Amino acid sequence: MIQVSEIAAMAILETLQASGVGPDKGLRLKREDIGLSLRIDAPKNNDNVIWHNKSVVLIVDQDTEKKEGDALVDVEEGPEEARLVLRRNISKSLEKAL
């Protein structure tokens, strides 16, 4: 199951709101041929939908969730800016992030 840390959920929600995206849409995490992608979308039946402050922040379809397994969407601070990352070893990540 894919989860989102509190700080990542806040960052995604702030970005969506600043872009004028309504609370019924969020970022869809999708496995593509070249890797993972994020795009603005609305939830569909059987999606895993993660909410924050009554707004959709992340949408994951069943195929992507099955391929990625247990993972955590988190924020990683870089030298110039923060970025979203997918942490696959979530037992330790969850202890630090949540």
Per DSSP, the residues of 20-38 read T--TT-EEEEEEETTEEEE
CATH 2.60.300.12 fits 2-97, yes or no: yes
pTM for the predicted model, two decimal places: 0.85
Lowest mean pLDDT among 4-13, 61-70, 73-82, 86-95: 86-95
Q: Which residues contact 17 (CB under 8 A, 6 or more apart)?
A: 55
Q: Which of 68, 49, 67, 70 is nearest to 59 (CA)?
A: 49
The model's pLDDT over 70-92, given as tens digits with 9 standing for 90+, comes to 999 999 998 888 899 999 866 55
